């Protein structure tokens, strides 16, 4: 496969390869069995194929968001009926929820806020949440919108392990979905997160009317970062009534699986998370996603505002597939 040798171009070692859309597309278009074989081969080099990492989400501040993301139930700018905006949740309540999630097998606790970016006055509470969850012995993750370099450093110092900030789609398609910030803004926050020394969680959504090339371009951007994100959430759009995308055409399940396989092959060391949309997916589609190299999920009954399959359903599916939850690596 002809990949560009970046190190050669820059005249420095170690050699590193950059993905091109054409190379990625060739893999995406392989006969399905060949694609699955390739994905499994890559997956097994780094991971135990029968282990899946479990994260739990909590919305610490819901609704009333000033951004206009066309898929989101929490945008104050969506055309239809809006969710009631809540205040930032009390720290003790967040910690009580995190304890429950730990008992349910989650190793990472992800806290999300419907903000464009955190306000300085909220930072003390957010920091207390990170410290409290960390003290429970869980990994911590937050998704609070755009971060300045200073905010990223403050969260890192508090013990935040991961920051989630999705590209959502390709650069080309981005402005069709969101107009209140740019693709470049997203990259800048990811840069601030990485420079502060945190692990990066960045992925996107499939099924928003994008083309196959848009999906591929998004993965190319992620895989070509100086360091690929450690965590790559791939969401299937949950069509929310009242949003701009409520009637978006559903993505073909096998196209979804192909995109997961491509993410696995392009980012062999990353956890690929089968994120939103599992409630709307058959068990068989989920099984194919795990076979394609997905090795992380959100557990529990709710995501941020939408439904998730819940503990009983997932425990049964894991039993049927012989999958065990991944344990926390004591060496981090
Ligand atoms: N406000 C923060 C931000 O946007 O950066 C964090 C929360 S936001 C809800 C996190 C991500 O969830 C979005 O970037 C998007 O990828 C995903 N998401 C939101 N609504 C979704 C939906 N209806 N279906 C699938 N994924 C969704
Ligand atoms: C991600 O990629 N998916 C999660 C998390 N990062 C924050 C959010 C999914 C949200 C699904 C819609 C909802 O619950 O409102
Ligand atoms: Fe706000 Fe995040 Fe929803 Fe966009 S995705 S409207 S930034 S909560």
Instruction: Name the least confident of 13-22, 46-55, 255-264.
Output: 13-22
What does the pLDDT read at residue 11?
55
Residue 10 has pLDDT above 80, yes or no: no
CB-defined site of ligand 3, < 6 Å: 65, 67, 69, 72, 74-75, 114, 145
Domain contains 7: no
Q: What average pLDDT score do residues 27-33 get?
A: 98
Query: Is there an atom of ligand 2 within 6 Å of 235 CB?
Result: yes
Q: Is 72 annotated as ligand-binding?
A: yes
Task: Give catalytic status of residue 72 as yes or no.
Answer: yes
| pLDDT classification of 295: cutoffs 50, 70, 90 | very high
Cβ proximity of 121 and 89 under 8 Å: no
Q: What is the pLDDT of residues 140-198, one digit of tens each?
A: 999 999 999 999 999 999 999 999 999 999 999 999 999 999 999 999 999 999 999 99
CATH number of 55's domain: 3.20.20.70
Going by C-alpha positions, the residue among 233, 244, 253 that lies closest to residue 296 is: 233
Q: Is 201 annotated as ligand-binding?
A: yes
What does the pLDDT read at residue 8?
53
Q: What is the pTM of this model?
A: 0.95
Domain contains 57: yes
Domain contains 6: no
Q: What average pLDDT score do residues 11-37 get?
A: 88
Residue 275 CA: nearest ligand 2 atom is 3
Residue 236, Cα to own-chain centre: how many angstroms? 11
Query: Is there an atom of ligand 2 within 6 Å of 112 CB?
Result: yes
Domain contains 146: yes
Residue 3 has pLDDT above 50, yes or no: no
Domain contains 14: no
Task: Give catalytic status of residue 201 as yes or no.
Answer: yes
* Tokens encoding 235: 């969401």
Residues 6+ apart with CB under 8 A from 332: none
* Tokens encoding 120: 């300085």
Domain contains 109: yes
Q: What is the pLDDT of residues 69-83, one digit of tens each?
A: 999 999 999 888 899
C-alpha to C-alpha distance for 187 and 222, rounded to whole angstroms: 10
Q: Is 273 annotated as ligand-binding?
A: yes
Question: Whole domain around residue 49: which residue ranges?
Answer: 21-322
What does the pLDDT read at residue 215?
98
Domain contains 84: yes
Task: List the beta strands (DSSP E) in the chain.
Answer: 4-5, 17-18, 51-61, 108-113, 139-143, 162-164, 199-201, 204-206, 231-236, 271-274, 296-299, 324-325
Domain count, the chain: 1
Domain contains 330: no
Cβ proximity of 278 and 309 under 8 Å: yes
What does the pLDDT read at residue 131?
98
Residue 314 has pLDDT above 80, yes or no: yes
Its sign, for the CA torsion 203, 205, 210, 216, is positive
C-alpha to C-alpha distance for 261 and 265, rounded to whole angstroms: 6
What does the pLDDT read at residue 7?
42
The one catalytic residue among 108, 201, 258, 299: 201
């Amino acid at each position: 496969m002809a990949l560009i040798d970046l190190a050669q171009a820059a005249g420095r070692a170690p050699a590193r390869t950059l993905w091109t859309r054409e190379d990625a597309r060739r893999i995406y278009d392989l006969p399905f069995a060949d694609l699955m074989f390739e994905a499994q081969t890559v997956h097994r080099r780094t991971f135990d194929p029968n282990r899946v990492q479990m994260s739990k989400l909590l919305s610490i501040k819901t609704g009333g968001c000033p951004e206009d993301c066309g898929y989101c139930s929490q945008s104050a700018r969506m055309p239809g009926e809006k969710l009631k905006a809540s205040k930032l949740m009390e720290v003790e309540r967040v910690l009580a929820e995190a304890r429950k999630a730990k008992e349910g097998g989650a190793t990472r606790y992800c806290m999300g806020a419907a903000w464009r970016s955190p306000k300085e006055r909220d930072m003390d509470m957010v920091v207390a949440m990170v410290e409290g969850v960390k003290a429970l012995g869980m990994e911590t993750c937050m998704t609070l919108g755009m971060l300045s370099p200073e905010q990223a450093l403050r969260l890192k110092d508090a013990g935040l392990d991961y920051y989630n900030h999705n590209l959502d789609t390709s650069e080309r398609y981005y402005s069709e979905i969101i107009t209140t910030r740019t693709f470049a803004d997203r990259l800048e926050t990811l840069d601030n997160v990485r420079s502060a020394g945190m692990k990066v969680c960045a992925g996107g959504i499939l099924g928003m009317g994008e083309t196959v090339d848009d999906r591929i371009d998004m993965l190319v951007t992620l895989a070509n970062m100086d360091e690929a994100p450690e965590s790559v959430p791939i969401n299937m759009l949950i069509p929310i009534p009242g949003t701009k995308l409520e009637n978006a055409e559903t993505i073909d399940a096998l196209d979804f699986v192909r995109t997961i396989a491509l993410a696995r092959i392009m980012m062999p060391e990353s956890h690929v998370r089968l994120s939103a949309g599992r409630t709307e997916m058959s068990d068989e589609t989920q099984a194919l996603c795990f076979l394609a190299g997905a090795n992380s999920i959100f557990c529990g009954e709710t995501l941020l505002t939408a439904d998730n399959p819940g503990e009983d359903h997932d425990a049964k599916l894991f039993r049927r597939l012989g999958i065990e939850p991944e344990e926390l690596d004591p060496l981090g």
